Amino acid sequence: MIELRTAREIDEMKAAGEFVASTLAALKARADVGVNLLELDAFAHELIRQRGAESCYLDYAPSFGSGPFGYVLCTSVNDAVLHGKPHSYRLHDGDLLTLDFAANVDGWVADSAISIVVGTASEQDLELIRLTERALDAGIAAAVIGNKIGDISHAIGSVAAEAGLRVNTEFGGHGVGRTMHGDPPVPNSGRPGRGYPLKEGLVIAIEPWFMRGTDKLRVDPDGWTLRSADGSRTAHSEHTIAVTADGPITLTRRLG
């Protein structure tokens, strides 16, 4: 069921957005060569505890995963793009790391993701990250009253198509509110003018994720981590936004 939020509820959701954004900024600053993915997860866990927030991932057990996720942070490295389960891996120079984080603050959820390169970055990796960020900006710009979900999807997919990338639509954006994943789904490619009409009060996560050489996924033995089928590099950017009469509000806007 699609739920629309009042202006007051959207204002209440800002605290969750600010916490998720600040946590990702802190994680980005801490991620470095030699840092273990489990250390990053433990750090995020501590920030959740200090804030009095709740993790959206810890006990999450959807149909597409294998049992409860068990961690508070998704850490996807290099060819991993989504749902990367933290494990004992120390980051190497040049690793492309995606951090995906969602939390509940005072009953409201926000969800966001960033991709960064640890240490020495190749221009190809930086360009892939920039493409996801450009697609995210395009999707947000299309999130206005009078448009439809397909307009957001088309805006995202057009950025990928212009760069010669194929888009996987098995996983994409989604409604956000009292829970992390809700309706409507927001695919990363689609036809303009199609789908659910965007209305004031709609809160969604928009999350373009691209793979350099394929649109096919494979699943790790952990039952969660999704990787590019051909081993090519991947990147992922995500914001939680609200559709308002004055245009989209990015609840997880990153400062600095």
Closest by CA to 150, choosing from 189, 178, 115, is 189
Q: Is 83 annotated as a binding residue?
A: yes
Question: Is-contact 77 50, C-beta < 8 A?
Answer: no
CA distance 36 to 77: 12
Q: Report how far residue 49's alpha carbon sits from residue 71's, in angstroms, rounded to the nearest whole number.
A: 14
> Is 11 assigned a ligand-binding role in the annotation?
no
- Of 89, 71, 93, 70, the C-alpha closest to 80 is 89
238 is in an annotated binding site: yes
Instruction: For residue 221, count CB atoms less than 10 angstroms from its CB and return exposed for 0-12, middle for 13-18, buried for 19 or more.
Output: exposed
Tokens of residue 208, six digits: 């373009």
If one counts every other C-beta atom within 10 angstroms of the C-beta of residue 47, the result is 19
E-strand stretches of 118-233:
173-175, 182-186, 203-206, 209-211, 217-219, 226-228
Q: ω into residue 184 within 30 of 0, thus cis?
A: yes
Determine whether the annotation assigns residue 59 to a binding site.
Answer: no
174 is in an annotated binding site: yes
Please tell me whether 87 is known to bind a ligand.
no
236 is in an annotated binding site: no
Cα 123 from Cα 218, distance rounded (Å)? 26
CB-CB contact of 243 with 199 (8 Å): yes
* Residues tagged in the binding site annotation: 83, 100, 111, 174, 181, 207, 238
* Residues tagged in the binding site annotation for a divalent metal cation: 100, 111, 174, 207, 238
* Residues tagged in the binding site annotation for substrate: 83, 181
